[in-house]
A and B are shown apart, each in its own frame.
Chain A
Amino acid sequence: MPDQKGDKPLITEKKISRRALLGGAATAAVVLAQTASGKSFQAALTKSELHLIEDPTKVPGVPPGTLGTRSPFETPAKAPSDISSRTPLQDLFGTITPSDLHFERNHNGVPAIDPAKYELVIHGMVDKPMVFTLADLKRFPSVSRIAFLECSGNYRGAADGKVTPQQICGLTSQSEWTGVKLSTLFREVGVSPKSTWFLAEGGDAAVMTRSVPIEKGWEDVIICYAQNGEAIRPEQGYPVRLFLPGWEGNINVKWLRRIELSDQPFQTRQETSKYTEAIGGGKIRQFSFTIDARSIITYPSYPQKVEKGWIEIRGIAWSGRGKVVRVEVSTDAGKSWKPAELQDPVMDKAHTAFRYLWNWNGQSTEILSRTVDETGYIQPFLKDLLAARGGNMGYHYNPVTAWYIQNDGQVLFKAT
């Protein structure tokens, strides 16, 4: 029966199979529904509709569909602001961020780009300035890598302790990125050996630009067109974005439309007025590309509540300089530290899951994690960062995070 209410799916008799009808599609967890143009799709039932199902072993379920769904009981969600949207790190498992929960940050909204009209222009200090369509880019030899992306402005605390990992550092996510190496395109166009920088420009309403040192371009930069197995999402740069493993989010230009090879940085607004930080003594640090090593316990975290007894402390650790080699966990407010287990494979410039089995005696305490990367860099405490940066908060804050566990099991954030 067609449903007149807002955005609930219309159910029409025509497209529902006999099997579903016998079972009563409306009594399954998923219904076969139809768009206005007559295409069938699976749609999740609301929880209230699900309560009609007494026993799923007594009624046939719904046949397979073209797109999967989440159970209506699962409602992970990003936390959007006017300019960004944060990944719910505390609600996730493993280290791949579901694509629709990947964080967002943009400087004038997400554009809608027609892939048939899309072109990437590479020009400047090259032998042959070239234009590549999306189809062209996909013909080149490709690579995939699983790596994190993080905004450099990814630290928030709260005096009352009521912040989730999402709110503290939800501007980081991990995908498997696939595309063509920029070095392949550099060879194609014949980049001049005298070129030392290139400008990357986006085709969004911000027409965002950043300058990149040429060495990074030759090293591991990927011109990506796929994310977690399918075309990049518009929110992450459809149809093509720049991906610079381990480097701050802003320089990973989305909706990439132009690369200009040059012999100097362009001093764009994003690398001067923004994404620079005061470091004391009146100095302002620029071209701070690398994301420093970081870890955070995502369970237990605010606003969860735990019970006395066995708790698996869980979290993620990563470094823009390479692999994390160690994560240490303290369950006594930093007095002593023990190594956590790292989930294999530990990958270069990628979120790595860590786990620490702990038997909580029910007494209030603080738990913390701290990571060390392969260069020997040790994740600092907040006070160390403030001391190193002349007391200035700013970009590239990656402090150890503490969680205070009360006697009643409630968990609160604590700055270090």
Chain B
Amino acid sequence: MTKSGIFIGAVCLLISISLTSNKSLTAAFSGSQADTLDQPKTFGFGRPATLKEIALLDTDVRPDGKGLPAGSGKVSEGKLVYAAKCSGCHGVTGTEGPNDQLVTIKNATDPKVKARNKTIGNYWPYATTVFDYIKRAMPFNQPGSLTDQEVYNLTAFLLHENGLIKADEIINAKTLPKVVMPARDFFVPDDRKDGPEIR
């Protein structure tokens, strides 16, 4: 380090000590935090990801349908899968629990019933989320064990139980993103702001 460099460093140190701060001395001398222009753009750590390993992991489904696999589902087939693999936690009709309620109870008045009555039919804004979530996380005690076929079938069944599609409708990569979800109109982005107003 040159003499002028040392001098500048010392000045920076004195200035930084005079400010209340939890910055370290090394930060004062180098004039940098971890993320500054002094860093190279890349370090060459890590290795390129192969298309194959990306494909194995990249199975999420977007609202526009990107990510939906080949195949299709039927309400009647989904009913069988549901009975075998889902009803134990979600109830025979998707309303009884003990775990999350999946199907809307119509005309609920009891406050306790209404509190649980947030379902695919009245609260989920996107049908694609049903496929994405079941595929990655369900059943709870054996996540990721369902085939894409089973997930399509279950998705069709649950959408139908919630009155969103007809019993003979086929659910696939083309039709699923188009299912109209009543809750979508109600979703608004966060409008809380800095400052004193409570929203």
**Which A positions have Cβ atoms within 8 angstroms of B?**
107-108, 121-123, 128-133, 136, 139-143, 181, 183-184, 187-188, 199, 201, 205-209, 257-258, 260, 262, 264-269, 272-273, 276, 279, 282-290, 292, 321, 344-345, 347, 375-378, 380, 384-385, 387-388, 396
Contacts and interface: CB of A to CB of B under 8 A. Distances in A.
Query: What 3 pairs between A and B have smallest CB-CB spacing?
Result: A375-B194, A269-B133, A129-B49
B126 interface: yes
A209 B42 contact: no
Contacts of A375: 194-195
Interface of B: 20-22, 33-35, 39, 41-43, 45-49, 53-54, 57-58, 60-64, 118, 120, 123-126, 128-129, 132-133, 136-137, 140, 143-144, 183, 186-192, 194-196, 198-199
A207 B198 contact: no
A260 B60 contact: yes
Contact of A131 (B34, B46, B61): B46
A178 to B, nearest CB: 10
Nearest to A322: B194
Contacts of B45: 132, 136, 139-140, 188
A205 B63 contact: no
B122 to A, nearest CB: 10
Given A207-B137, A268-B133, A131 B47 contact: yes
Contact of B48 (A131, A133, A285): A131
B54 A121 contact: yes
Nearest to B40: A187
Given A269-B129, A286-B189, A290-B190, 18 more contacts: A121-B53, A121-B54, A129-B49, A129-B54, A131-B48, A131-B49, A188-B43, A205-B137, A206-B143, A260-B60, A267-B63, A272-B126, A272-B129, A284-B125, A284-B187, A287-B189, A290-B192, A345-B20
Interface centre among B34, B47, B53, B187, by most chain A C-beta atoms within 10 angstroms, is B34
Contacts of B132: 209, 266, 268-269
Nearest to A269: B133
Contacts of B42: 187-188
A273 B49 contact: no
Contacts of B21: 345
B60 A273 contact: no
B186 A207 contact: no
Contacts of B187: 272, 276, 283-284, 286
Given A184-B39, A269-B133, A384 B63 contact: no
B55 to A, nearest CB: 10
B123 A273 contact: yes
A207 B194 contact: no
A388 B192 CA distance: 10
Contacts of A273: 118, 120, 123-124, 129, 133
Contact of B194 (A141, A287, A376, A380): A376
Contacts of A268: 60, 129, 132-133
Contacts of B191: 285
Nearest to A374: B194
Contact of B143 (A108, A121, A129, A201): A108
Nearest to A277: B190
B62 to A, nearest CB: 6
Contacts of B62: 262, 264, 266-267
B144 A284 contact: no
Contact of A292 (B35, B41, B123, B192): B192
17 contacts: A108-B137, A131-B46, A141-B35, A181-B35, A183-B35, A199-B60, A201-B57, A201-B60, A258-B57, A266-B61, A273-B124, A283-B186, A284-B123, A345-B22, A375-B195, A376-B195, A376-B196
A16 to B, nearest CB: 43
B46 A133 contact: yes
B128 A284 contact: no
A283 B188 contact: yes
A387 B64 CA distance: 36
B103 to A, nearest CB: 14
A257 B123 CA distance: 29
A123 B58 contact: yes
Contact of A130 (B48, B129, B195): B48
A380 B198 contact: yes
B190 A285 contact: yes
B154 to A, nearest CB: 14
A121 B49 contact: yes
A283 B195 CA distance: 22
Given A206-B137, A207-B137, A344-B20, A285 B53 contact: no
